Amino acid sequence: MPDLQPLVVLKTMANTAAVSAKTGKPAQTDSLFQSTIAFCEKTFGRGHYLLGSIMSNYAEFLRTAGRHAEAKTASKRAKAILNSFSRENSIGLTVDATAFR
């Protein structure tokens, strides 16, 4: 049976960052997103579909915070990850990444 703890930790971190984005504390929110992104990359890899979803949320936060250039970069990365994953997963089956959100 796979260890689900890293997934639970990641989901908790991602949810905390998303909720923080609604509180109007941009420095705290940015730090939470950065930590979540780093944890996801280290634990699941730089191309994991969950990272694509987190990057998409981070891009939205950056747009809201007026950091448009950074938002554009984050959005491009999110789209690249999600498009890659939706084309072919790790065992060669075509899947739709949005079904996993």
Per-residue pLDDT tens for 40-94?
999 999 999 999 999 999 999 999 999 999 999 999 999 999 988 776 555 555 5
pLDDT at 24: 86
Report the 10 Å Cβ neighbour count for 86.
17
- Residue 98 — very low, low, confident or very high, per pLDDT cuts 50/70/90? low
Assess whether pLDDT exceeds 70 at residue 13.
yes
**Which CATH number describes the domain made up of 5-88?**
1.25.40.10
pLDDT at 86: 73
> pTM (2 decimals)?
0.83
Q: Are residues 45 and 33 in contact, defined by beta-carbon separation less than 8 angstroms?
A: no
